Amino acid sequence: MKRIFALTMMTLCLAATAWAEVGDGDNGDSGSTDFAKMYNPVQTATISLGVAPDARAGAMGDIGAATDPDENSQYWNPAKYAFAYSRGGISLNYTPWLRKLVSGINMAYVSGYWKFGYYDNQAISASMRYFSLGEVEVWQTNGEQSGVVQVINPMEMAVDLGYSRQLSDNFSMGVVMRYIHSDMTYDDGDNEPANTWAADIAAYYTAYPQIGYNECQWSWGANLSNVGGKISYDGNATSQFLPCNFRLGTSFTFPLDDYNLMSFSFDANKLLVPTFPQSREFIGEDGQVDQEKFEAAKKNYYDMSGIKGLFKSFNDAPGGGLEEFHEINWGLGVEYTYDRRFYLRAGYHYENEYKGDRKYFTFGAGVVLNVFHIDAGYVMSTAQTSALDQTLRFSLGFDLEGIRDLMGGSNKRRR
C-alpha cells in the first residue's frame, strides 16, 4: 500500500507565484532544448513569503521600497514607518490567488504600526500573513486500486514584529523579527510541519529638493528580508532555503499644482539563495552524468546554512555573471494623486525568461474616505497562459490617529 500526497497540485500552486509556464517565446522556440538547458529559476521554500500582500504596491508593479509610507510598509520596507504621516494605522488585505488556475487558494494579510517618542520619530509595527492552499486530496494506491483517503488544508503563516527609528531628519532604519510556520502534512506521511525564524533589516532616506517653485520628494529604500535559518519538512533530512531577498528602490514625487501629484517609482530585487545543482553541470567526457559528484553537490546544498547561502548566491550561478544578472527582477510604478484623496496607479513587473518569466502589467485605484481608505489592484499578464493573469488584490486601511481624534483623543506634541 502506498499513499501519494498531491504534491503536483501544491507545487504548481506555489511555484506559479515565482515561475511562469514554459511556452512559446518571442522567437517561437522557448520550448526548445536550448531553452530548457538555460531555464533555471531559483528554488526556495515558503514561496508565499514573496507574494505582494497589498493592493497599492500590487497595482504599481509590485514595488514599495521607497514609496511613501503606509500601513503595509512592514513587507516592503519597515524603516519607512518612522516617516509615516499619521501616528498609527492598520490595514486588512485579501488576495484570491491564482484564481484563473484553481479556486480556494487565497492570502490574508494584516499589518499595522504605531509611532511614539517625544518627536514621534520611532515606531513599532506588526503583521500577520496567512496563505491557504485550499483543499488538497491525498490519494492511496494499492496495485490497480486507487482513491482519495484524506482531504487536507495545507497552509503557510508568518507573524512579524518590527521596530524603526529616525536617525536623522532624512534617514531611518528598521528591523523585523519573523516567525514562519508551514504545514503541508497529512496522516501517515513521512513529513511534519516546519517552523523557523527570520529577520529583516531596512533603511530609508528621503529628501525634498526644490525644482523651480515646486518642492519635490526624492526617496531611496533598501530591505534585506528573510535572513535566517532554513526550513525542513522531514526532520532535517533535507532542508530548503527561505526566500531571502534584497530589495533596492527609489521614488520621485512632484506636484503638478496644489491638488495634483505624480510619483514615479522603481524597485530591483534579487533572491539571495544559491542555485540548486543541475545534473547537466556534472556531465563527464563520456556524456553521462557523474552521479557521485551530483549527489555530493546536492548534499552540500542541503547542508549549507542560510547565511552561507546568502553570500554564495552572488557567484554560484552555472552561467556566471550573466546568469546572476538575470536573477534580478524589477518593477516600475506610477501613482497619480488628487487632493490626497483619489489615486490612480499603474505599473510593470519584469523577470527574465530563464528565471521564471513573470512579466505583467498592473493597474489599480484607491480612495480615502475620512479615516479609512480602500484600494484595489489588478494584474494583466503579457502571457495569456500565465496563472497570474487577472489576479485581484483588495486592501482596507484605517488611520488610527484619525479615529482617536474623532473619539476626542488628545494630540501629542509633533515636530
Domains by residue range for the chain, with CATH: 2-272+313-406 (2.40.160.40)
Q: Which of 117, 214, 106, 197 is nearest to 160 (CA)?
A: 197
The structure's pTM equals 0.87
CA distances to 20, 193, 214, 309 from 233, rounded to whole Å, are 25, 6, 56, 19
Residue 185: per-residue pLDDT: 77
Instruction: Provide the pLDDT for residue 7.
Output: 44
H or E element at residue 113:
strand 106-116
For 214, list phi and psi in degrees, rounded to 5: -105, 135
Q: Exposure pattern of 294-326 as b/e (b: 16+ CB <10 Å)?
A: beebeeebeebebeebbebbeebbeeeeebbeb
**Structure-block grid coordinates of residue 294:** 551530483
What spatial distance separates the first Cα and last Cα of the chain, rounded to whole Å? 70
Identity of residue 68: D
Q: Could you tell me which residues come within 8 angstroms of residue 247 by beta carbon, excluding any fewer than 6 positions away?
A: 65, 76, 77, 221, 222, 223, 224, 225, 267, 268, 269
Three-class DSSP category at 52: coil
Interval 44-78: pLDDT, tens: 989 889 999 999 999 999 999 999 999 999 999 99
Which residues, at least 6 apart from 387, have a Cβ–Cβ distance to it below 8 Å?
Answer: 16, 20, 21, 98, 100, 101
- The DSSP bridge pattern shows strands 194-207 and 342-350 to be unpaired
The residue to which cell 499578464 is assigned? 381
Mean pLDDT computed over every residue of the chain: 85
Residue 321, helix vs strand vs coil: helix
pLDDT at 146: 63
Residue ranges of the chain with pLDDT lower than 50?
1-30, 412-415
Compute the distance between CA of residue 40 and CA of residue 317 in angstroms, rounded to an integer. Answer: 9
Q: What is the pLDDT of residue 415?
A: 36
